[in-house]
Every structure is written in C-alpha cells, then in structure tokens.
Structure 1
Amino acid sequence: MSDKKKLNLNRVSMPKQSPEDRRRNFLEVAYGYSQEEAAEEADRCLQCKKPRCIEGCPVGIEIPAFIEAVREGDMERAVRTIKDKNSLPGICGRVCPQEVQCEKRCVLSKKGAPIAIGRLERFVADWEGSDGISKEGGPGPKGAGKAEPTGKKVAVVGAGPAGLTAAADLARRGHQVTVFEALHDAGGVLIYGIPEFRLPKDIVRGEVDYVKSLGVNFELDSVVGRLLQVDELLDGEFDAVFLGIGAGAPRFLKVPGENLNGVYSANEYLTRVNLMKAYRFPEYDTPIRQGKKVAVVGGGNVAMDAARCAVRLGAEEVHVVYRRSEAEMPARLEEIENAKEEGVIFDFLANPTRILGDDRGRVAGMEVVDMVLGEPDESGRRRPVVEAGSEHIMDVETVIIAVGTIPNPLIPKNTPDLETTRWGTLVVDDAGRTTREGVWAGGDITTGGATVISAMGAGKKAAEDIDRWLREDGPWSR
C-alpha cells in the first residue's frame, strides 16, 4: 500500500431513480457511474502491493489493475483485464454481493467505505456494451485469444451463471461447446428470477451473445433428463458433460392453506413477472393476479425481488414477513434499503402458521405468530422461538413464499452412478467432478441456493479441470 496517497474514505455515490418514480416502472433503479464519477471513485484505490480484494473474488479478477485502467481512462485495457477472468461483468457488477466478498477485503473498509468495485465493474461492462468495442468476432479485446481447436466436445446443461461461465472458458480453451437449456431463453435464474429493475434482460442477452461469439452453440427448449439423458450425451458426440442446472424447485412452509388461490412460490411469481413479462400486460398476454395487500415470506434477495415487483404491479400494501430480526436477514443491505424506500413494510420476528381462505378458495388472510431469538443454530444465526399466545391475523390477499429452493431431481434420478446428498444436491469434489465419470457439476445444484458469483466460480473451476482431463486423462479415442 502506498504511504503517500491520501486516504479518501467516502465512495462516490451512484445516482438512481427516486422512490416515487421507480415504484411505477420496471426500469433499472441505479443509473450507473458517469466517466467522471468512475474516474473519481477509481482514484480512491490505494493500489495495494498485496491486494486482498482479489482473494475475495471467486473468479479471481485482477481488481487493482482494472481499476487503475479506469482511473487512467484506458477502457479497452479495463475490459481486457476483467474479461480475462470474468465473461459476465455486466451481470456481476449489478447483482454480486461485493460487500461480503471483494469489497469486504478492501483495506479502506477498516476506516471508511471500501472501493465500489462492483459499480466500477458495471461501468466497464456498460462502456463495452454501448460505447466501446463490438463483441462480435470472438474474444475481441480480452487478451486471452482462443486456443487452437482440440477436436473435443463438451455438453453444458443449463444456461445459468455456472453454465455460461463454464461454456465460455471451455470455448476459449479450444473445445467445441454446446449448451442445453430447458427454457426458451438463455440465462437461467438471471432471466427468470431477477427483476428487470435490478438486472435488465438486455444486459443478460448481451453477455449471452458474447459467449456465443466465442463459438458456443445453444440448444434452447432442450430438457436434459427428459428429452435426452446424460448418458446419451456421453455415448453420443460429447466427451464430457458439465451440469449447471441450478436448484429451481421451490420450498414451501408446509402450513395449512398453501394450496389456496393467491399463494405463489417466489419461483412461479418471479418467472411469470420476468420471463413471461406479466408486468407488460396486455402487450404480453401473461398477466399475474395479485391482491392489493401482499405478504412475502422470507428474508433473502428473492424475497426483496418479489416484494418490490408486487409494489410495481400495483399492490397498495406489501409486507415482508421474516422470522428473525433485521440483523439476521441474508438479503443485501442495498436491496433492503431499496425496498424500504419503495414503501415495503417489514414484519420482523414473525412466522406464518396457516393461510386462511374464503368460500371461493382464495386467500383471505394469514395467521402469524411472534418470535423471539434463542441460541444460535447450525447457520450461526440465533434460532427463532415461538412466543406463546402471540397468534394474530394479517389481512392479506396474496402470499408469496420465498424461503429457498431445492434441486430438481430429474437428472439425478435418470443418471446412473450420479450420487446426491440427502438434500438432493450433487456430490462433487473440489474440482467439480461428480461420482459419474466424465460428468462435472457446479453452482446451486451442488451447494443449494447461493450467489451468482459463487456459481460462476464453480463453473470456472470445473472448466479448468475438464480441460485438463480432456488433454491428459480423458477419452482421446473412442
């Protein structure tokens, strides 16, 4: 760390829509940095000789180097530096929890605000997408050109963050890659799960186009495990398979009334809003029915997304019901703050016990009990305990359950020798190898619900091992 540079402990704020405006639209909330604002924020970086921020990045971006390039106005170098390690910077700059990863390691965080690494990454990605270098024609400015073709073929199942990362890295190493995606649009949870106001779909599609420019082929509407099996891929034209199929099956509360009309899993609700564009009805003939009073059960980013969508879809009162206190909420602080600004009401230390219905089978209320926090549980958070006699009824017409997800068992059930844990996740080693030879996996299918960047890190690690296996140990001849 330089002992000559004066510490600037206050980060440059990023402009965003006012709460009054954004409650009525699905446009991106944050506007992003201008060139001047980005340069000013980049100038805060101390350019540490031993940067700890890189250790906090699951994909290993050379963070000080790209920030120095931004400060100097050398945007092409900034793009090359980031894309040498990360093929999806426009996505990561928006939705990754930098505050608990790279930014948490920043030495400035000891006395003030850490460098806004995520915001600067977004700025670089947006510059490339709008004012900068065309993404067509392959690897372009990122420096690490494609290797010579190996003649080996890899199937990637799932076009989410893990699959896209693995596909891009494998293609850059010279392998021929085909991505099989069950939905009609590539992006996985980035497309169906994260709202437009937090992650515009044009950004996702731009990143997917970049992966395509590396020579990756996409087969959409292709349900591996039903239309074709993993064994058929390996017995056919592919030498290896990577499974990045996520954990998209919803969890429920297992309380009476969950089958009533007006109860949604967050997966269904967000998929109908995002992928099927319910928010653009009647332009898109896919409306979603919700009442004026909505309760979202859960405390993570998915719960924040659902609550903020409900506000924009016209709900007059939106509650987030969470069984612990605000201090234990797993959602990003930024998303909690945005939700509060938009009028979302938080009911902490509250837990539903049943959902009430009317004579038409529709939601007519939700019974909730108050909670108190006891001793820490296996997650390290204090365990919530029911306060006796605290039952009360919330007046709501729609309930959205956002308490996590589990893996879809379709592929594991139909793939011999593919071992799973008792939670339904795939058993893998540190390199992402499953118990089935020639098959790797990464992301939520191995960890359960986690972050976009952790899934990308798993995809990158698996791609490296697949490449090594194909070149050294794998089936060079059939």
Structure 2
Amino acid sequence: MQAVPSEFLAIDRKERANRPFYDLDLRPADERKCDFGGVVIEFDPERAMVEAARCIHCPDPAPCMVACPTANDIPSAMWLIEQGKFVEAAGIYHKTSSLPEICGRVCPHEALCQGSCVLNKHHTPVLCGELEAFTVDYERRTQGHLISLAVPSGKKVAVIGAGPAGLGCADILLQKGHAVTVFDSKPAPGGLLVYGIPNFKLSKEVWEEKWEEFERAGVKFVPNTYIGKDKTIDQLFAEGFDAVFIGVGSEIDAKMEDTPGTDLPGVYEATDFLIRGNIPMEQLPENMKKPLELGKRVVVVGGGDTASDCLRTALRLGSEEVTCLYRRTEKEMPGGKKDRKMARDEGAKYRFLTQPVKFIAGADGKLAAVECIEMKLGEPDAKGRRKPVPVEGSNFSVAADTAILALGYWPDPIISKTTPELETYNWGLISVKDKATGATSREGVFTGGDCATGPDLVVTAMVGGRKAGRAIDQYLKSK
C-alpha cells in the first residue's frame, strides 16, 4: 500500500465515518426498462471526491484490498480521488487490473470490496466500484491510456478466447514484449463481456474503447475460429507459436435433463437469448441471426446473475409478464441482490420453491404453459445448501409463451478431446498442475478462468489470465 501523506494522521477517522452517504443515482425504472442504456448515473468529479473522502484508510492490510481478487490498492486510490488526482488514481488500478473500467461496473462489489469495508459495521460502505469506473473513464476521456510495451522478445503466443481471461493474459504478455494473437469463435472480440453481459450493465462503447487499447498495443485478432474444430492446438504450435493460453470460459448451457418440452418453439437457452437480444446483427454468429420470437408472458428458470440478466432483457424487449421460477428460496439464490432489486423495480416477479417439470405446447405447437411442482427445503447437502424436495401432488401450471433456461454452464470439451496429453476433470474443465501459474499437463499450454475453475466472476477470470501471462513469460525466457 502506498504511504498516505503525513497530514492525514491528524484526520479523525470517526469524523470521516460519520460523513453523509449519498447512494448511487439510478435512472428511473420506468424509463430505463424501455431501452438498453446504462442504469447507473455516473459520478461527476465533485461527487467522486466527496464519496472517496468517506474512506477511513484502515491500517494494512485493508479489508477491501484483501477482498479484491486483484488486490487493488483501494485506500491509496481513494486518497488520490479525494485530492482530485483522478488520473493518478486510475494508474493505481491499472497496476493490478487489466480491466478496471469493466470490473468497476460488473463486479459484485457488495460481496467483495464494498462488502468488506469496515464501515458496514455501523455505517454505509464506500462505493468502491463506481469510483474505480469513474477514475478510469476520466483518464480515458481526458488523455487516454496505453498499455506499456517492452522491447519485442521475438516470441509468439496464441491466446484462445477473447474474454476476460484471455485479455488478462494478453495484457501481461504485451507488457513483457511478446507478440499476441487472440483466436475466438465469435465474429467480434470480448467473449462474455460482449456476448454475455447485457448493454445496460456494460455498454458496448466502454468495451470498444477498451479493445482499442489492445489493438494499439499490437494484438492481432482472428475471429470465427473455433479452436478444436477449425484448428487444433497442435496446429498452432506447428504454425510457430511458442506457447498457448486457453481462456475459452465455460459457455455450454446446462440442460434440464429428462424434462419434456424443452425442445418446443418458444423455449430458449440463456446464452442464445442474451446474445440475440443484445448484440448488433453484424456481430452475431451465423447460427444466431434469426430474430427472437418473444411472447408477452415470459418465465426464466434459474436464480443466478444470468437469470437476472434474462429477466431484465425480456422486459426491455417488450414482454409484459416476466417471472423467475426458482426451486429454492431467495436466501439460497446465487445471484447478486443488487441485480434482483433492479429487476423487481423494473417489473420482474419471482416465484420461489417452484420447479418446472414439463413444458406444454398449445394448439399451434408452440409453448403455451409450464407445468411446475411446489418444493420444500430438506436437509443440507455436502456444500451446506438445503436440498429442494418435491411436494407430492402439488402440480400447477404457469401460462407462458416464452421460457428461458438460465441453469448454469458447463465447459466445452472440444479442446481437451483434440489436444493429446491435456488432462481434464469434472466433465471437461482443464486441469492445472500449478494454480499459481495455470500450467497444464501439456508443455507450453497454460489456462485460466472459467474453463479451469468452472463458472465464476469476470474479475477472477481476468486474474487467472494475468497469472498465466506471467508464467508464460517465465516459460519463454527459460526455453
């Protein structure tokens, strides 16, 4: 942590803690649900300085830093913001994060830095995420940001996947002087950041400006290239790449096994729905260019952040009744509370202890209703979550002309099947020999993010990519 100026020692932490708190300003729900524009009204400089001045600068190690997967030096950034030194504060974030303008928007701050702020005990936490986004936006708009580059090493690295993990890895490799080529199965770079997160949470403009930084640094992007189908990892090595990083995420939608009717017209998987509902036509994969046929009565099955994204997207696309069906209670829901509150404010409804058991067609052969059964919570499972148990004879129907299945994600096994000596676990997740480096069982092949850990956060995927980037640099130097 950077040393805070000596004059701070005279500042009363109690006085700082008692300063008034002003919550985030949001666009009115009735207004924002009519478009895909941002929900949060961004800070202006004065507001940012006032909010940062609430930080009481805990002694090392500050809980917010410990809770941040990137270990951002948040107290030092708060001090700089308070002084109006926004560009210098942005530099603090760039030291430990490859995607600060994105993490500042999409991280579940209430569960990480803000959730660990000591002000939670008797006051309200500092809005760390919004301040992170503000400083990096300010820097970009006033002077821009360049990835620092080293003298070219002559080494080439193939990065598979243009999402958070791949970008984190590419960022480090560029700073070490290595040439980076990013391969992705989609027409545009970004991975989850573009094809998974709706515009109202992360605008395409913010992402496009971020991607320009990578292009200026010399990254080469190869679109529409599905590694494992169009080209193998062995072929990448044969083409002259000295190392390979796998950061393809975990993007295969989980299925409702043995549930009749999931193949009916009107039943969508979450990935298909979110991509077609949020992405411009020119960036859509060829197999997703058919327009969505969305009805007025929509049900979303699942309880994570993806379910919230689907609920809010359906409302913006004009659906009138949008309901989440979840088999446990709200207490057990894995998704963020903040997103659920926004979804409710925008008109989404929730029905708990409800499990779909059949999707029913109408006279036209399309979805007309979802048969459900009531659930009750039984004994805790191995992870401590109470298992949902069906209530016999409690079946009922919910009218719906569209259903979206947001049940979680599985890894794509195609790379492991086409790469000799690459070990996997848990139905296709890539095994790592050393979690600190991301090294796999195959020499010269490294991994990180959701394809190695299973579905997790943008920030943890990015951190995994950065760790692998450093390890690849050491590997290349040792060759």
Q: TM-score range by the shorter chain?
A: over 0.9
The amino acid that maps onto 2:347 is G
Deviation at 1:12, TM superposition (A): 2.7
Answering whether residue 270 of structure 2 is matched by residue 266 of structure 1, we say: yes
1:117-151: per-residue Cα shift (whole Å, max 9, x none)?
Answer: 11111111221233x2123xx33xxxxx4222222
Q: After superposition, give the CA deviation of every residue in 1:359-408 in whole Å (9 maximum; x if it has no partner).
A: 43210100111111122223322111111211100011110000001111
Q: How many residues align?
A: 461
Deviation of 1:160 after TM superposition, in Å, equals 0.3
Which of 22, 40, 48 does residue 58 from structure 2 map onto?
A: 48
Distance 1:332 1:242, change over 3 A: same
Q: Which runs of 5+ in 1 are unaligned?
A: 140-144
> In structure 2, how many angstroms separate the alpha carbons of the residues matched to 1:315 and 1:53?
39
Residue 4 of structure 1, aligned match among 9, 12, 35: 12
TM-score by length of 1: 0.93
Deviations 1:289-320 (A, max 9, x none): 01110000000110000011111111110000
Find out whether 1:18 has 2:22 as its counterpart: no
Residue 230 of structure 2 corresponds to which residue in structure 1?
A: 227
Equivalent AA in structure 1 for residue 136 of structure 2: A
Aligned residue in 1 for 2:4: none
Distance change in 2, residues 1:221/1:233 (3 Å): same
Residue of structure 1 in register with 2:69 after alignment: 58
1:239 match: 242
Aligned-residue CA RMSD in angstroms? 1.9
Structure-2 residue corresponding to 1:463? 469
Give the Å deviation of 1:470: 1.4
1:285 Cα deviation from its structure 2 partner: 7.6
Deviation at 1:212, TM superposition (A): 2.1
- Are 2:312 and 2:346, in contact at CA under 8 Å, matched by a contact in 1? yes
Displacement of 1:97? 1.1
Answer with 392-401 or 173-182: which moved more: 173-182
Q: Are 2:330 and 1:326 equivalent residues in the alignment? A: yes
Equivalent AA in structure 2 for residue 8 of structure 1? N
Letter in 1 for 2:162: A
The CA distance in 1 between the partners of 2:67 and 2:326, in whole Å, is 29
After superposition, the Cα gap between the structure-2 partners of 1:201 and 1:379, relative to the gap in structure 1 and judged at 3 Å, is: farther
| C-alpha distance in structure 2 between counterparts of 1:403 and 1:158, whole Å | 23
Cα distance in structure 2, aligned partners of 1:423 and 1:36: 51
Partner in structure 2 of residue 142 of structure 1: none
Instruction: Give the whole-Å Cα distance in 2 for the aligned partners of 1:268 and 1:17.
Output: 28
CA distance in 2, matches of 1:394, 1:307: 16
Structure-2 residue corresponding to 1:447: 453
Amino acid in the other structure paired with 2:477: R
* Cα shift at 1:286: 5.2
Q: Do the aligned residues in 2 keep the contact of 1:168 with 1:214 (CA within 8 Å)?
A: no
Q: Residue 36 of structure 1 is aligned with which of 15, 21, 46?
A: 46
2:319 is equivalent to residue 312 of structure 1? no
| Cα deviation code 1:56-96 (max 9, x no counterpart) | 12122111111211111111201211111112111101111
Report what 2:439 is aligned to: 433
Tell me, in whole angstroms, the C-alpha distance in 1 between the residues paired with 2:381 and 2:42: 39
After superposing the two structures, state which structure 1 stretch, 116-125 or 293-302, moved more: 116-125
Note the C-alpha offset of 1:9. Answer: 6.9
Q: Take 2:247 and 2:417, find their aligned partners in 1: how far apart are those partners?
A: 16
Q: Is the 8 A contact 1:196 1:274 kept in 2?
A: yes
CA 1:398/1:38 → structure 2, altered by over 3 Å: closer, same or farther? same
% of aligned pairs identical? 39
Instruction: Rate the CA distance shift 1:276–1:380 in 2: closer, same or farther, 3 A.
Output: farther
- Secondary structure in 1 matching 2:403: strand
- Runs of 4+ aligned residues of structure 1 deviating over 6 Å after TM superposition are none
Please give the alpha-carbon distance, in whole angstroms, between the structure 2 residues aligned to 1:49 and 1:361: 64
Instruction: Summarize the Cα distance change of 1:52–1:80 in structure 2 as closer, same or farther, 3 Å threshold.
Output: same
For 2:232 and 2:220, locate their aligned partners in 1 and report how far apart those are by CA, in whole Å: 18
1:12 touches 1:37 (CA, 8 Å); kept in 2?
Answer: no
CA distance in 2, matches of 1:10, 1:415: 57
1:18 partner amino acid: P
SS at match of 1:218: strand
Distance 1:11 1:225, change over 3 A: farther
Aligned to 1:410: 414
Shift of 1:10: 5.6
Question: Which range moves more in the overlay, 103-112 or 396-405?
Answer: 103-112
Distance 2:52 2:98 in 1: 21
In the alignment, what sits opposite 2:128?
A: 117
Which residue in the other structure is 2:3 paired with?
A: none
- 3-state SS of 2:130 partner: helix
Runs of at least 5 residues in structure 2 that lack an aligned partner in the other structure: 1-7
What does 1:61-100 correspond to in 2, within 5 Å?
Answer: 61-100=72-111
How far, CA to CA, are the matches of 1:97 and 1:438 in structure 2?
A: 34
Deviations 1:187-206 (A, max 9, x none): 00110111111110111111
Tell me: CA distance 1:277–1:321, structure 2 relative to 1, closer, same or farther (3 Å): farther
